[in-house]
Each structure stands twice: as structure tokens, then as C-alpha cells.
Amino acid sequence: MGDEKTISTLQITNLQGQTVYSSINKVSQSMEIDISSFSVGIYTVLLLDSEGMLSTRKLVVVE
């Protein structure tokens, strides 16, 4: 557990590049996001940790 990074910024964008969710300066090791309002589709999740490391993940929302 000592290797877990702290998330400082999280951004979710749709395939058109529009930001559908953004959380900045919410320092936490985990986050819960309500995606019930998201349309079905594929999204990109950008995570920036407290050390400046950027990670990208894919999020698939289905019915």
C-alpha cells in the first residue's frame, strides 16, 4: 500500500474531446464518481498524481 499514489486531478472526456467530468485539487487515494448521467459510450480518464505523473485509462459505459 505504500506505493499507492495520491490523485490530485481527474478529468473524463468523451470521444469528441469534450470534458464531461473534472475534479481538480481533490487530493485523495481513491475517488467515487457518479456516472449515471453519462451516455453509453467510451470515455478517456486522465489522472494526474501528486508527483506530476499522468495516467490515461479507458472507461466504457454500457446500459
pLDDT of residue 1: 43
Rounded Cα gap, residues 9 and 29, in angstroms: 11
Q: Which domain range does residue 16 map to? A: 7-58
Rounded Cα gap, residues 25 and 48, in angstroms: 10
**Ranges of the chain whose pLDDT falls below 70:** 1-4
pTM reported for the whole predicted model: 0.81
Number of domains within the chain: 1
Q: Is residue 63 part of a domain?
A: no
Q: Is residue 1 part of a domain?
A: no
Q: Is residue 20 part of a domain?
A: yes
Q: Is residue 52 part of a domain?
A: yes
pLDDT of residue 44: 98
